């Protein structure tokens, strides 16, 4: 597809000497596969590299029928996006300050060379036992999800909610049918619950986790059966001694 527009006309738009009319906006929208809403309402110069990459891949939130979510982020000295660290003490502040550049700038930040530079990541510290075997205090690194319709059922997400703050759960996507997410824990002691999409502020897809706890030894089944058998024998011997007494 070619952009049927004179170079001088396009230069006028780029230099803000002239403004495109409706016909020109339609032509630009079709050529770049970006909605007119995005062209008119969004300052593309403020978008991060990962957000621009999403637009280049055709993931325009306005086209998908929801609001464009411009993420507040920080970059390093080479203009690479940082991974900001939201530790336990910062979680309460993050609930209200997640869109505040000053708050995000104060968070510790780092980079992981094996993660894609075209995507945005953030690390959150979780608490509690609802996601065991991922233990209390673990660090969850997750990828920013701009289009919530792409949430995949059965996968884990960090979700910033209106009422419960930051939660880490396995999601079932019911947005299309009922505008809800069903959130479940890995720990079966916790029951699933519904979350209205209106109560969601941010969504981050689970990538990996880090913790300092050494996992329990994995006892082979045969050895476990022997251990159980020995315990049964010891119990029987104790019973016999009690009966003789």
224 found inside a domain: no
pTM of this prediction exceeds 0.85: no
- Residue 166: pLDDT over 90: yes
157 found inside a domain: yes
Q: How many residues does the chain have?
A: 245
Domain check: are 33 and 116 in the same one? no
Domain check: are 50 and 112 in the same one? no
pLDDT tens digits, 124-133? 999 999 999 9
**Do the Cβ atoms of 10 and 28 come closer than 8 Å?**
no
Question: Where residue 186 falls among pLDDT bands split at 50, 70, 90?
Answer: very high
Domain check: are 11 and 118 in the same one? no
Phi, psi at 101, each rounded to 5°: -55, -35
**Do the Cβ atoms of 161 and 171 come closer than 8 Å?**
no
Domain check: are 113 and 160 in the same one? yes
Domain check: are 134 and 202 in the same one? yes
The domain containing residue 50 runs over which residues? 7-54
**Do the Cβ atoms of 37 and 62 come closer than 8 Å?**
yes
Question: Where residue 111 falls among pLDDT bands split at 50, 70, 90?
Answer: very high
Domain check: are 87 and 206 in the same one? yes
pLDDT tens digits, 15-66? 888 888 888 888 888 887 777 777 777 777 776 666 676 676 666 655 444 4
């Amino acid at each position: 597809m070619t952009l049927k527009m004179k170079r001088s006309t396009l230069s006028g738009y780029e230099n803000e000497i002239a403004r495109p009319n409706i016909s020109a906006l339609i032509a630009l929208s079709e050529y770049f596969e970006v909605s007119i809403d995005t062209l008119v309402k969004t300052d593309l110069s403020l978008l991060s590299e990962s957000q621009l990459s999403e637009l280049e891949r055709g993931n325009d939130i306005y086209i998908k029928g929801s609001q464009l979510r411009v993420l507040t982020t920080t970059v390093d000295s080479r203009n690479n996006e940082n991974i900001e660290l939201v530790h336990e003490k910062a979680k309460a502040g993050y609930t209200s300050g997640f869109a505040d550049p000053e708050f995000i700038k104060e968070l510790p930040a780092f980079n992981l060379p094996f993660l894609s530079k075209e995507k945005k990541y953030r690390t959150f510290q979780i608490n509690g036992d609802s996601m065991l075997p991922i233990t209390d205090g673990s660090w969850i690194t997750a990828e920013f999800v701009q289009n919530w319709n792409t949430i995949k059922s059965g996968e884990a997400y960090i979700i910033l909610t209106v009422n419960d703050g930051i939660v880490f759960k396995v999601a079932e996507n019911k947005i299309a049918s009922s505008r809800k997410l069903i959130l479940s824990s890995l720990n079966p002691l916790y029951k699933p619950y519904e979350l209205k999409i209106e109560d969601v502020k941010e969504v981050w897809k689970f990538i990996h986790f880090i913790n300092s706890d050494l996992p329990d030894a994995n006892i082979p089944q045969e050895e476990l059966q022997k251990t159980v058998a020995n315990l049964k024998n010891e119990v029987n011997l104790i019973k016999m001694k009690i009966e003789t007494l």
